[in-house]
Amino acid sequence: MGNGHWRWGILGAGAAARGMAAALQAVNGRIEAIASRREETAQELAAEYGIQRVHATPDALVSDPDLDVIYIASPHDSHHHWMKAAVEAGKHVLCEKAITLNSRQLAEVCALARQKNVLVLEAMTIHHMPLYRKLRALIGSGALGRVRLVQVNFGSWRVFDPESRFFSRDLAGGALLDIGVYATAFARWFLDAVPTQVLTTAELAPTGVDEQSGIILKNDRGQLVVMALSLTAKQPKRGVVSCEKGYIEISEYPRADSALIHWTDDGRTETVTAGRREEALQYEVRDMQHYLDGWKAGGLGQAGGLGQAGEPEQRGTASVAAAGEGLLPPSMRAAGLTSAVPGAAPACDDAAALLAQSQEVMAVLTEVRRQWGVMYPGE
């Protein structure tokens, strides 16, 4: 079970599940079981990836005693239910973004995870791409000065269909939970502290979900974030992190493996690379299994720290740095780092800190929707 030989089950059979099945197969060589709302789609994915067992229902999957970890790739509106079911059954969970619909749901899952002593993480590529580890180390070194402003866009063009997951209120549709979670996670990665002020405006679809919005965030350290999201206009997936001595420009940021640094003093441009975008989901799997190995050993990433409130930069970094390279997450090693970076913000070198960052992002998304007055059934 340890040392990377964790027994995975997949809940879902859509595009996200297909991508993760390929990543799990590349890292582990096999996937133990799968289930979906429609058994026939699970059968198709199982045949394609040589998955051992197909359960007739998701309930049967999460209660399977021969599984250690459940990857959840069902629609947004069902994440809370299936995470709670999996955790109640003693399973570790890697759940697709957005991890829940709101902060209350995530707090419930975290509390249950502490009680059951299991790990829960969000399948957020930005948390695991080596490039972001490398850029965080650069900013932590002070070479670029403090981060002052983050600008980030994400826009897709979708044909309006009230039954699709993008626009259906019943399926928790809208741009915010589908693509805005990436933009908010990108911004949070580079900030010194969680945003405390939120200003926003949105255009709603006929179904009542957000189809386009502008969001401004500010924290108590004077750092600003400006985000633009749309499901009705294509935009580049582009993020810019403006610092005192230069700025970082990142294209295709959800799975980025390169960035341009523009230095203010001499006008030079530098390209920074780390990792490979084609292996984005493999980094998620490797990091998750690294934390699980630490959990099993009672050390790094122990589940007792999951879901605790507080400043994440106060947790994780010191213990990892003291332990040395052997306990660094694989994504950090892939970035060429040999130790944690003192003073880097946020410190996301252990599972508790990563989940804390997901909680902070969800707090922003929850406040944004509160201001819009957008609620989903069951909330």
Q: Domains of the chain (ranges plus CATH)?
A: 8-123 (3.40.50.720), 124-379 (3.30.360.10)
pLDDT at res. 342: 52
pLDDT cut 70: percent of the chain above it = 89
pLDDT at 177: 97
Determine the pLDDT at residue 298: 76
Contact 153, 125 (CB under 8 A): no
DSSP letter (8 states) at residue 252? S
- Res 297: pLDDT: 81
**What's the pLDDT score for residue 349?**
53
pLDDT at 269 over 60: yes
Helices 280-297, 15-28: crossing angle, 10 deg rounding:
60
What does the pLDDT average to over 334-343? 74
Classified as helix, coil or strand, 64 is coil
Query: Which of the following is catalytic: 97, 134, 234, 237?
Result: 97
Tell how far CA 354 is from the center of its chain: 8
At residue 352, the pLDDT reads: 87
**Does the pLDDT at position 261 exceed 50?**
yes
Nearest to 324 by CA among 304, 305, 299: 299
* Contact (CB, 8 A) for 1 and 7: yes
Tell me what the mean pLDDT of segment 354-368 comes to.
97
Q: Which is more confidently placed, 337 or 242?
A: 242
Closest CA to 202 of 181, 176, 221: 176
Residue 252 CA to residue 154 CA, distance in Å, equals: 9
pLDDT tens digit sequence for 133-182: 999 999 999 999 999 999 999 999 999 999 999 999 999 999 999 999 99
Average pLDDT over residues 208-215: 98
Q: Is the pLDDT of residue 204 over 60?
A: yes
Please tell me the predicted confidence (pLDDT) of residue 343. Answer: 45
Q: Model confidence at 202, in pLDDT bands (50, 70, 90)?
A: very high
- pLDDT of residue 332 exceeding 50, the answer is yes
**Residue 339 pLDDT level (bands cut at 50, 70, 90):** confident
Query: Is residue 306 over pLDDT 70?
Result: no
Catalytic (active site) residue 134:
no
Q: Kindly report, residue by residue over 15-73, the tens digit of the pLDDT.
A: 999 999 999 999 987 899 999 999 999 999 999 999 989 999 999 999 999 999 999 99
* CA–CA distance, 355 with 357 (Å, rounded to integer): 5
- Mean pLDDT score, 359-375: 98
Question: For residues 360 and 344, which has the higher predicted lDDT (pLDDT)?
Answer: 360
> What is the predicted pLDDT for the residue at 326?
52
Span of 195-209, 264-278, 347-361 with lowest mean pLDDT: 347-361
Query: What's the whole-number average pLDDT of the chain?
Result: 89
Checking if the pLDDT of 124 tops 70, the result is yes
What mean pLDDT is predicted for residues 220-240?
Answer: 97
Q: Residue by residue, what is the 3-state secondary structure of 149-209?
A: EEEEEEEEECCCCCCCCCCCCCCCCCHHHHHHHHHHHHHHHHCCCCCCEEEEEEEECCCCC
Looking at per-residue pLDDT, the higher value among 327 and 236 belongs to 236
pLDDT of residue 320: 33
How many angstroms separate the CA atoms of 197 and 225, rounded?
10
